[in-house]
Amino acid sequence: MTKMKSVYLGDLRVESTHLLSGTRLMTDAPVDNAGKGASFSPTDLCAVALSNCILTTMGIFAAQKGIDIQGAEAEVEKIMSAEPPRRIAEIRVRVQMPPKGYTDKEKLTLERTARTCAVHNTLHEALKIDLEIRW
């Protein structure tokens, strides 16, 4: 069980601490929702959690199979719904794999693995997730 603590600092800013490591992060409301956009918004963290989880899950699988994916990058785009209630309507993730001569089997299994990460499995089915892996 992972424990974290969040404190509202005022001015739409929240500081969160990962209690085991002491690592801290700050969020700010986005510009389109009364904030300054000075940091990740909570919904930004949701979107980047998906891309980070995809890369981490691929990394776990790759390490078990002796496949080198170091240098893989993910770009993530969050699209908010235009209709109420305020929510994320779509997350687009583009994974760029490093040029390491992956076999067709490695590509297939890594792509399948990417779609099984915990965040992907947790997000509601109403959220459109567009995942593309570029080799």
Exposure letters 16-51 (e unless 16+ CB within 10 A, then b): beeeeeeeeeebbbbeeeebeeebbbebbbbbbbbb
Residue in 51, 42, 33, 35 with CA at minimum distance from that of residue 15:
42
The span from the CA of 44 to the CA of 21, in Å, is: 22
Domain ranges of the chain: 1-40, 41-134
pLDDT digit string (tens) for 36-75? Answer: 999 999 999 999 999 999 999 999 999 999 999 999 999 9
Topology at the third CATH level for domain 41-134: GMP Synthetase; Chain A, domain 3 (3.30.300)
pTM: 0.92
